[in-house]
Chain A
Amino acid sequence: MPRPKRKAAVPTRSSDADSSARPEPKKPRGNQFNRIDQLFESYVNKTLGLIDPEGIEALCNDVNVNHTDVRMLIFAWKMKAEKQGYFSKDEWRRGLKCLGADTRPKLKKAIEGLDKELKVPECFEDFYSYAFQYCLTEEKQRSVDIETICELLNIVLKSEFPNQVNLLVEYLKVQNDYRALNMDQWRSFYRFFKEVDFHDLENYDSSQAWTVIIDNFVEWLKEKEKN
C-alpha cells in the first residue's frame, strides 16, 4: 500500500451510513466487542479518535506484514476504509468482525491469510475498484498519477497476470498521452487482461468499447512484437 500522506487536520468521521447491501452486522457479544475495541484503542491516536499512519505502522509490525503488502490493502478493503492511512472505529469493527479476529494473534493469522480472499472473481473486481478508490486522497480527485498506478498494478494484479502487468507498466512509463488515469481506465485494465489473449492480438478490435489507452497499448504491443 503506498505510503499515505500525512494530513494536518482530519475531519472526524461520524458514523457512516453503510450504503452497501450488506446489512448492519449483529451487535457482537459483549466480550468480543470489548476485545475488538480494546485492540482499536491500542493503536488509536487519542486526539483524533482514529488510527493514523503511525498506528498502522505499529499494527504492521505486530502482524509482521509490510505496510506495502497487498494484504494490508485487502484489510483496508474488508474494512471499507474511506481514507487512506486512517481507520475509524466503525471501520475497524467491521473489518475485524469480517475476519473473525478479536485478539492480536488471531488478527495476525487472519491478515497473513488475506490473499486467499481474492480467489472469488466477484470479490476481486470489487477489491480491484476499491484499490483505485483508495488512492484518491484529495477532495474531488478523479484520477491517479501514472506512477501510483504502476505501483498499484504491481501490487494488485501481478500475481495473476505477471507478464501482462510487466508489459503494461512498461508501456505506461513510456507513453505521453496520459499523466493520470481515471477509474474507468483502471477498470478497463483488469477486464482487458481477463478477456484478451496477448498472443492473439490480431483479433483485437479497436472499434470496440475499449478505452483509448488500451487501444494505444495494443498498438504499442504490436509494434514491439514486430521488432
Chain B
Amino acid sequence: MVLHKFGEKLYSGLVATMTGHLKEIAKSVEAAQGAEFYRVESQKFIECCDCGDYLKKAERRLNEEIDRVSHYLDPRTEKKITNVVEKEMIENHMLRLIHMENSGLVHMFSDDKYDDLGRMYNLFRRVPDGLSKIREVMTEHIKETGKQLVNDPERLKDPVEFVQRLLDEKDKYDKIINFAFNNDKSFQNALNSSFEYFINLNPRSPEFISLFVDDKLRKGLKGVSEDDVEVTLDKVMMLFRYLQEKDVFEKYYKQHLAKRLLSGKTVSDDAERSLIVKLKTECGYQFTSKLEGMFTDMKTSQDTMQGFYASHPELVDGPTLTVQVLTTGSWPTQSSVTCNLPAEMSALCEKFRSYYLGTHTGRRLSWQTNMGTADLKATFGKGQKHELNVSTYQMCVLMLFNNADRLSYKEIEQATEIPASDLKRCLQSLALVKGRNVLRKEPMSKDVGEDDAFFVNDKFSSKLYKVKIGTVVAQKESEPEKQETRQRVEEDRKPQIEAAIVRIMKSRKQLDHNNLIAEVTKQLQSRFLANPTEVKKRIESLIERDFLERDENDRKLYRDPDVVSLKTRFGSNLESIDDGEYEFVEFICENMVSLGASNLQSIVGDSNILPFYLEQGIANTIGCLQREGCLLRGEHNLLGEAFLVMASVAGIQQQQEVLAWLLEPLSQEWTHSEWQDKYLSEPYGLVYLFSEAQVMWSSFHSVTFFDKALNRSGIKKANWNPENSSTPDSTPINPILIKYFVLSGSCSYFPATSHYTLSLVSICTSNFTWRDPSCNDHE
C-alpha cells in the first residue's frame, strides 16, 4: 500500500522531472539549432545586403521568433531565444554594420534616414554596448564634420552663413535624436559635448555668433512674429552656452550693440531687451549690467535733447543736432580722435556742450566723431537733389566742397584733421563705390593716394532720393583689431582670476595646487575657460604681493596668509606719517576687493587720521567698483562699513564727509530724472520698484547700511537738518528718501514677501521724522 502511494508520487514526480528535463533539452537543442541557423543566415545576409536591408531582415527574424514563442512555446523561453537572435544577428555584426560602406551609420546620418536609424536604435539597444557604439560613432562623426566646418576658410568668409550652418547641424541632429533615438538623454548629452568641442576649436566663434545676432537684430528679424523672434534668440542662446570664452562674446556683443544703438538700426527694441534678459538669466547680472547701461544712456539722451531744444528755441530753424551722451564705463572703450567739424556744426555742438555742462557739473564731454552720422541735403550739377546719409567723417569732407570745387587729398587732410587710415577709407566710400560716388577722384585708380584730387561728381545719379553712404556697420574684425581685442580680453581676465584665487583661499584657508586650480576654473567657467598656466602666473603674482603663502615644507600647498602678517608689513609704515600712509592707502585702493572688508578693518583699526583726499580716493574706488559690478552682493556695504570705521577714528567731521561721499553714487542714481520718472512720479512706480528683486536688495542693503552708520556716528536724528549739515552735497538725497519711503508706507500693494519693505519703512520713518515742505502733499 505504502509502496503504491509512494509509487504514484514517485511516478508523477518522475514524469514531472522528465518532462522538465525534456523541455530543457528541447530548448537547448532549439537554441543550439537556432544559433547555428542564425549564424549562417546572418553571415549570408551581411554579405549581400546593405545595412538598412540587413536591419530590416534582422528585425523581421526577431519578430518572427517572438511570435513563434508566443504561439508555441513556453513564454519563459522568449528571452532565451531572442537572445540567440540578438547575439547572432546583431551583436556579432555590430561594428560591421555600423561601418558598412555606403550604407553604414555615418551615411544614415548624412541622409537623414530616420527609419533605418530608428531600427538600428531599437535593435542595438537589446544588446550590451549596442547603444554606446552608436553614440561613439555619432560623437566622432559630429566632431569631424564640425571640425571641418569650423576650419573651412570658405565658410569663414561669411560669419552669418557660418553660424547658420551651425544651427542647421544642430537642428538636424535634434531631429534625428527625436525621431529615431527616442529622445534618449544620453544621445542629447553626446550631441552637446560634441558641439561644445568643435565650436571652441575656432577662436572666432564668439565673434561670429555675435555678428549673427547683429545681423538678425539689424534686419534678419524684420517683420518676423514675436514667437519666431523668441525661437531664433533661444537658438542663439543655445549656441552661446557651448562657448567656453563667453567673455570674448560679451566684448564683441557690446561693440556690435553699441553700433546698432547709435545708428538706430535695431529691428526691435523688445527683441534686444529679450536677448539681454536671456543673457542675464544665463550669466548673472554682472554680465548685462553694462549693456543695460547703454540702453539707459540712449533714453536719457532723448530727454536731454528735448531739454536742449526747449531751452534754445532759436535753434529750431537751423541744422538739427541729435546727441547721444554715453557713460564711459558702459560703452566699449574708444580712443578719442581728432576731427574738425564744419563751422556750422561746431558752433551748435558748443552750445550743446555748455547746456549740458550747465546741468551736469563736474562731468567731462568728449565728442566721438568716429561714431556719428549725418543727413545732408545735396544739390548736384544738373539740379538733382538727394538726401545723403553719411558718417560724421564723410560729412566733414563733403561740407568742404561747399567752398571749393576741387580739393587735393592733402588739403582735405589738413582741413579735417581726420587720421589718415580713416580718411582714406572715408574717401573711398565717397568716390569709388558705384551708385554712391558723390565725389569724383582723379586719377581714377582703385586706391586713394596722397596726390589724388577730388571733385563733386556732378553726374551723380541714383534712383532713390535718400542715399545711404554711411560706413558704421559691424563687420568682421581685421587682423590687427582682432589682436587688440584678444589682448584686452586677456588683460581683463587677470584680475578676475586673482579675485577668484583670493576668495577661494579666504574661505578654505589652505589648499593644494591642483585643487586650487580646479576650484578657480570652476568659479570662472561661466565666463571663460581658465588657462592653468595663466592661473599659475597669477598665483605667483599673489605670492609676491603677500596675498598667498606657499607652505614651508610642502611646496604644493598654499595658505591664506595671516592677517597679522599683513598688519606687520604695514605697521611700521604707519608710524612714519607721509609716505607710509599714502602707500598704504594706495595699497588699500588697489586691493580693496581682494583684501575684503574684515581684513580692511583689522588692518586699519588703529590707524592715524587719514588725509581727506585719500579718503575720497577710497570712497571713489568703492563707488567705481560698485558701478562696474565688481563687487559681490553685500561686499559694497561691508567695504563701506569698514571704511566708515576707519573714518570714525578721525572724528565726526570726517565721518560726515565720508558718509556724503558714500552717498554720492546713490544720490546720483536717485536724482536721475529717469529713475524718478520710473519710480516716484506716481504711486504705482513704487510697486515696480519693489517688484524688481535686484533693486529691492540693493535698496535694502543701502538703507540698512546708512541706518547703521548713522547710529554709529551718534548723529542725533532730531538734529540732522539739511540746512545745518556740513555736507551740502548730501542735501538732495533727503527729500527723495522721504518721498520714497513715506509713499511706500501708504501703498498697500506689496506682496506679503516684502518684509524688507516693512523694515525699510520702519527704519526710515524713525530716522527721518523731520519735515520737508515738499512732502506735505504726500504724507
Contacts and interface: CB of A to CB of B under 8 A. Distances in A.
Given A182-B544, A188-B555, A207-B514, A212 B532 contact: no
A206 B514 CA distance: 11
Contact of A215 (B514, B517, B533, B544): B533
A212 B536 contact: yes
Nearest to B546: A142
B543 A212 contact: no
Contacts of A142: 544
Interface string A158-200: 0000000000000000000000001011011001000000000
B286 to A, nearest CB: 29
A191 B555 CA distance: 9
Nearest to B541: A182
A191 to B, nearest CB: 6
Contacts of B555: 187-188, 191, 209
A184 B540 contact: yes
B518 to A, nearest CB: 11
A208 interface: yes
Interface in B522-570: 532-533, 536-537, 540, 543-544, 550, 555-556
Contacts of B544: 142-143, 182, 184
A127 to B, nearest CB: 15
Contacts of A148: none
Given A184-B550, A215-B533, A209 B556 contact: yes
A184 B513 contact: no
A133 interface: no
Contact of B513 (A143, A187, A208): A208
Contacts of B532: 207
A187 B552 CA distance: 10
A187 B543 CA distance: 13
Nearest to B537: A212
A212 B536 CA distance: 7
Nearest to B512: A209
A45 interface: no
Contacts of A191: 555
A208 B537 contact: no
A32 interface: no
A137 interface: no
Nearest to A140: B583
Contacts of A154: none
A184 B543 contact: yes
Interface in B506-523: 512-514, 517
- Say whether chain B's binding surface is mostly helix, strand, loop, or mixed: helix
A156 B670 CA distance: 65
Contacts of A143: 544
A202 B21 CA distance: 64
B533 A212 contact: yes
A185 B513 contact: no
A197 B312 CA distance: 81
Q: Which of A185, A206, A209, A212 has the most CB of B within 10 A?
A: A209
Contacts of A207: 514, 517, 532
A191 B554 CA distance: 11
Interface string A202-227: 00001111011001000000000000
A211 B536 CA distance: 7
Contacts of B536: 211-212, 215
A191 B536 CA distance: 18
B540 A212 contact: yes
Contacts of A187: 550, 555
Contact of B540 (A185, A206, A208): A185
A206 B533 CA distance: 9
A86 to B, nearest CB: 19
A110 B556 CA distance: 38
A182 B704 CA distance: 45
Contacts of A212: 533, 536-537, 540
B513 A209 contact: yes
A139 B513 CA distance: 31
Interface string B301-341: 00000000000000000000000000000000000000000
Nearest to A143: B544
A184 B556 CA distance: 12
Nearest to B517: A207
Contacts of A211: 536, 540
A142 B569 CA distance: 13
B570 to A, nearest CB: 11
Nearest to B532: A207
B723 to A, nearest CB: 48
A142 B532 CA distance: 25
A184 B550 CA distance: 8
Contacts of A185: 540
A114 B74 CA distance: 96
Contacts of B540: 182, 184-185, 211-212
Contacts of B556: 208-209
B516 to A, nearest CB: 9
A185 B532 CA distance: 18
Nearest to B513: A209
Contacts of B550: 184, 187, 209
Contacts of A188: 555
Interface in A105-150: 142-143
Q: Which of B536, B537, B556 has the most CB of A within 10 A?
A: B536
A218 B555 CA distance: 18
Nearest to A210: B555
Interface in B490-515: 512-514
A148 B123 CA distance: 73
A105 to B, nearest CB: 39
Nearest to A215: B533
A222 B556 CA distance: 24
B494 to A, nearest CB: 14
A211 B550 CA distance: 11
A119 B368 CA distance: 69
A161 B264 CA distance: 69
A209 B536 CA distance: 8
Q: Which of B513, B540, B556 has the most CB of A within 10 A?
A: B540
Given A208-B513, A209-B550, 14 more contacts: A142-B544, A143-B544, A184-B540, A184-B543, A184-B550, A187-B550, A187-B555, A188-B555, A207-B532, A209-B512, A209-B513, A209-B556, A212-B533, A215-B533
Interface of A: 142-143, 182, 184-185, 187-188, 191, 206-209, 211-212, 215
30 contacts: A142-B544, A143-B544, A182-B543, A182-B544, A184-B540, A184-B544, A184-B550, A185-B540, A187-B550, A187-B555, A188-B555, A191-B555, A206-B533, A207-B514, A207-B517, A207-B532, A208-B513, A209-B512, A209-B513, A209-B550, A209-B555, A209-B556, A211-B536, A211-B540, A212-B533, A212-B536, A212-B537, A212-B540, A215-B533, A215-B536
**Nearest 6 Cβ contacts at the A-B interface:** A209-B513, A209-B556, A182-B544, A184-B543, A212-B536, A212-B537
